[in-house]
Structure 1
């Protein structure tokens, strides 16, 4: 899942990707059917993209993120009385290519898996990513909770997305800053 600076920016693929966990919005990726209820209610979810970040907005170099595979699904698992989502589930394959547009170097990252997105009071959102899944988050300059970069969280994670779309990492096990990887 991917939370990207596009709709935490929706960052699993921590989907749940995550995404873009602006982040801006959350990008999420989903998981295996074993995490779902096996029933109905699932519908296609697309992370969007490609995502283009000029030098200095996420990485010191021009970062370009393209979607290679996106067959995610989502469903609303719980709603508030007004009908707005309270809890959404995300599952399925998501593979992104991260490229340093200045050097031409690129890496592909599988962000497939399962994620849970809880919509909390006050405009907060919380991503919960199981140990077998992944989520990415774009962090822009000025975020008070995390250093700027494009991060991939694996092996389980919990991310709190503040109303201003800033991600706060509550729990992480493995993390890769794609800006460092592509530098």
Structure 2
């Protein structure tokens, strides 16, 4: 099955009327020093967070093999050196496959917020709102690979 077909399947699963089994998945605040994601220090904190998650499959030991996320999420990203901020819509829906080694494959429809450190992904260093239909692979050692999608670097909005 091609990537677009997988993502469209994700959309149909996540937009259905069922609310059974969904639990809140609060997003914690984030602080990063200058040079980690942006050239300046950043603070990110949800101002709207109604994200829910649901376990879709588990490994025999009970750990999560596949789960889903959906719901409104707006994250205020602030340049803490000058006070400028940007309210990032990260309200995408995703199904996440968890490999036994700790790697994750995200199949996403809509925007999420993702940080790319220098030389640890296929995008330059930055804090990105990624939108569209796409796949994001996070290896066990933290390397990120984005396939498709439309990334926009939030650092550029608050410099």
Give TM class, smaller chain: 0.7 to 0.9
By how many angstroms is 1:145 displaced?
3.3
Aligned position for 1:67: 46
Q: Is the CA contact 2:89–2:112 (under 8 Å) kept in the aligned structure 1?
A: no
Distance 1:33-1:125 versus aligned 2 partners, 3 A rule: closer
Q: Quick check: 2:69–2:95 contact (8 Å CA) kept in 1?
A: yes
1:181 pairs with 2:143: no
Alpha-carbon distance in 1 for matches of 2:101, 2:124: 24
Match of 1:8 in 2: none
Residue in structure 2 matched with residue 139 of structure 1 by the alignment: 116
> Taking structure 2 as the reference length, what is the TM-score of the superposition?
0.84
Q: Name structure 2 gaps, 5 residues minimum.
A: 1-10
Alignment partner, residue 43 of structure 1: 23
1:181 aligned counterpart, secondary structure: helix
Name stretches of at least 5 consecutive residues in structure 1 with no aligned partner: 1-30
Contact (CA 8 Å) 2:14, 2:68: kept in 1 or not? no
- Choose from 156, 159, 170 the match for 2:133: 156
Greater length-normalized contact order (CA 8 Å, ≥ 6 residues apart): 1
Q: Are the aligned partners of 2:90 and 2:112 in contact in 1 as well (CA < 8 Å)?
A: yes
Asked whether the equivalents of residues 28 and 45 of structure 2 are also in contact (C-alpha less than 8 Å), the reply is: no
Q: 2:5 corresponds to which residue?
A: none
* Structure 1 residue ranges (4+ consecutive) displaced by more than 4 angstroms after TM superposition: 31-34
Instruction: Output aligned runs, 1:15-164, within 5 Å.
Output: 35-36=15-16, 38-49=18-29, 51-130=30-109, 133-164=110-141
1:83-121 deviation digits (Å, cap 9, x = unpaired): 211110101111001111122211111211311111124
Cα offset, 1:123, TM superposition: 2.3
1:53-73 deviation per Cα after TM superposition (whole angstroms, max 9, x unaligned): 111111101111121011111
Secondary structure in 1 matching 2:39 = coil
For residue 123 of structure 1, give the secondary structure of its aligned residue in structure 2. Answer: coil
Give the conservation status (yes or no) of the 8 Å contact 2:128–2:153: yes
Q: How far off is 1:34 after superposition?
A: 5.4
Q: Which has the higher helix share?
A: 2
- The count of aligned residue pairs is 149
Largest Rg, 1 or 2: 2
Partners of 1:47 and 1:69 lie apart in 2 by 10
